[in-house]
Amino acid sequence: MSEAKRLAGEKAIEYVEDGMIVGVGTGSTVAYFIDALAAIKDRIKGAVSSSDQSTARLKQHGIEVLDLNATGPLSLYVDGADECDPHKRLIKGGGAALTREKIIAEASRTFVCIVDPSKQVDVLGRFPLPIEVIPMARSLVAREVLAQTGGQPVWREGVVTDNGNLVLDIHNLSITDPKGMETALNQIPGVVSVGLFARRGADVVIVGGEPPRVL
């Protein structure tokens, strides 16, 4: 799949315009985008990064990483996904960077999502839904999620997010109302963010292949 990821990441460069500050997601597909961005780094003002991992890669390439508070709204955000449905609604957070990813997606006019074909699904939920939680609320959130959705919460042990929080992965879901579930789970005290990107999904999806498909 890495070839498909590379093709998707490189195709997304077509959305980068001169003088832009580019929002940059996290993951192995985004790594290809960052590497391609390096080739045109003199044409952009810099990047806003969604994770320490992406920040390190951007800086290795000499791309300036800027603070979202200083940049204001962005024109473009490029990020991967764990699942993508036909309405461009997503599950994200496999790399535990969902909260910062959600913030940058919200701040951006255009969200270009780059995926390999294995990420395309008709109904979201085969990939366990990540939820970032405040540590003391881990069990409370798990019980509440089970009661509300019937899904099985599993603590991603050993993982601490860039924000110092924990991740629960919710298994056995079939998400027929992604916006409704996103809104409901967001209300549970202790939930920092939910890896459902339905209220603000992608605007463009690039599926890597020869040639890449733009949805």
Do β-strands 46-49 and 204-207 pair in parallel, antiparallel, or remain unpaired?
A: unpaired
At closest approach, how far in Å is the CB of 183 from ligand 5RP? 20
* Contact status: 81 vs ligand 5RP (CB under 6 A): yes
d(CA 29, CA 35): 10
Phi, psi of 77 (to 5 degrees): -130, 130
Task: Please select the residue that binds ligand 5RP; options are 23, 80, 153, 208, rule is CB under 6 A.
Answer: 80
Q: Which two tokens stand for residue 91?
A: 């599950």
Cα 98 from chain centroid?
6
* Contact status: 97 vs ligand 5RP (CB under 6 A): yes
At closest approach, how far in Å is the CB of 31 from ligand 5RP? 8
Q: Which two tokens stand for residue 136?
A: 């003391």
Q: Please give the DSSP secondary-structure letter assigned to residue 65.
A: B
Q: Is 23 annotated as a binding residue?
A: no
The yes-or-no answer on residue 10 being catalytic is no
Q: Which two tokens stand for residue 63?
A: 């791309």
Which residue is catalytic, options 3, 10, 64, 101? 101
At closest approach, how far in Å is the CB of 94 from ligand 5RP? 3
Exposed / middle / buried, residue 112 (Cβ in 10 Å: 0-12, 13-18, 19+): buried
At closest approach, how far in Å is the CB of 42 from ligand 5RP? 26
Total residues in contact with ligand 5RP, by rule CB under 6 A: 17
Task: Please select the residue that binds ligand 5RP; options are 11, 24, 44, 94, rule is CB under 6 A.
Answer: 94
Residues labelled as active-site residues: 101
Binding site for ligand 5RP (CB under 6 A): 25-29, 79-82, 92-98, 101
